[in-house]
Structure 1
Amino acid sequence: MSKLIKHKGIIKDIRNGIAKVEITQLSACSGCHARSYCSASDKKEKIIEVSCNGNSFKTGETVILISNSDIEREALLIAFVYPFFCLVAVLIIVYFLSRNETIAGITSLAILVPYYIIIGLYKKKLKKKFVFSLHKTD
């Protein structure tokens, strides 16, 4: 059974039934009492687009984005694991064919360009697959 992933966010804009919700992604250091003195603490703000048709949300409202953990796993596979295996496979194959480390290294890095271009071409399909639901906070 998959567990739910929840993020608290603020609605920045609503147009055509799509809400742009800003979430703050904090690093592990963000909970530390010394974070303001340390340069290692990290905080990123991201904008997530979520369908809000039929619900009465307002700009500036604090909401909760919910998805299941299966989405997280698949996103990690697509963004990091598959390209890693492509890179390693091309590195090994090209090295054994050419016996040249430089060519193998450059080719293995270059294979990532078409991989991410293909991912970009499937952006609409992936957006339909990776769906968040929007809920009001209590």
Structure 2
Amino acid sequence: MVTNIKHLGIVENINGSRLKVKIVQSSACSACSVKGHCSASETKEKIIDVYNKNNVPCQVGERVMIVGTTSMGMKAVLLAFVLPFIVLLLALIISLKLTGGDEAVSALVALGTLIPYYLIIYICRNRLSRSFMFILESIYN
């Protein structure tokens, strides 16, 4: 069973079948009636690259629906949080053994191992972007 993540957005730019769509990402409490009196509510505007696979007719400034799969979200969480945490823990455990228990040096070594991890992610960003592509759907579905 494939479930989808859907967002309403506004088309910012069209380049063939590739579009840039602006979405407003808001925290769960941003819809609350007392959000003006609370500092926890938060909204952000993001520009998302979208592929118009279904050839949905659209123009710049038009509201559209963008769709991604939940597996994309899980893969993003895995790459951004789970794998770096595992790398950090393994590096910490190994460096604690090698340094004879020196916690300060081990912590710095463990944090330093994240630099190559994120450099690899940065170098592979074009390949990764192909697996994180949202698809445009008609807003009238």
Aligned partners of 2:16 and 2:110: how far apart in 1? Answer: 42
Check whether the contact 2:88–2:111 (CA below 8 A) recurs between aligned residues: yes
* Corresponding position of 1:91: 92
| Residue identity opposite 1:51 in structure 2 | Y
Aligned partners of 2:130 and 2:20: how far apart in 1? Answer: 16
TM-score, structure 2 as length reference: 0.91
Runs of 4 or more, structure 1, over 4 Å off, are none
* Corresponding position of 2:69: 68
1:4, distance to aligned residue in structure 2 (A): 1.0
Equivalence map 1:29-48=2 (5 Å)? 29-48=29-48
Aligned partners of 2:27 and 2:56: how far apart in 1? Answer: 32
1:100 and 2:105 are equivalent in the alignment: no
* Partner SS for 1:73: helix
Any unmatched runs of 5+ in structure 1? none
Any unmatched runs of 5+ in structure 2? none
Check whether the contact 1:62–1:136 (CA below 8 A) recurs between aligned residues: no
Aligned partners of 1:7 and 1:103: how far apart in 2? Answer: 45
For residue 125 of structure 2, the aligned residue among 123, 126, 130 is 123
Aligned partners of 2:51 and 2:90: how far apart in 1? Answer: 39
1:16, distance to aligned residue in structure 2 (A): 4.1
Aligned partners of 1:112 and 1:5: how far apart in 2? Answer: 30
Aligned length: 138
* Partner SS for 1:59: coil
1:30, distance to aligned residue in structure 2 (A): 0.9
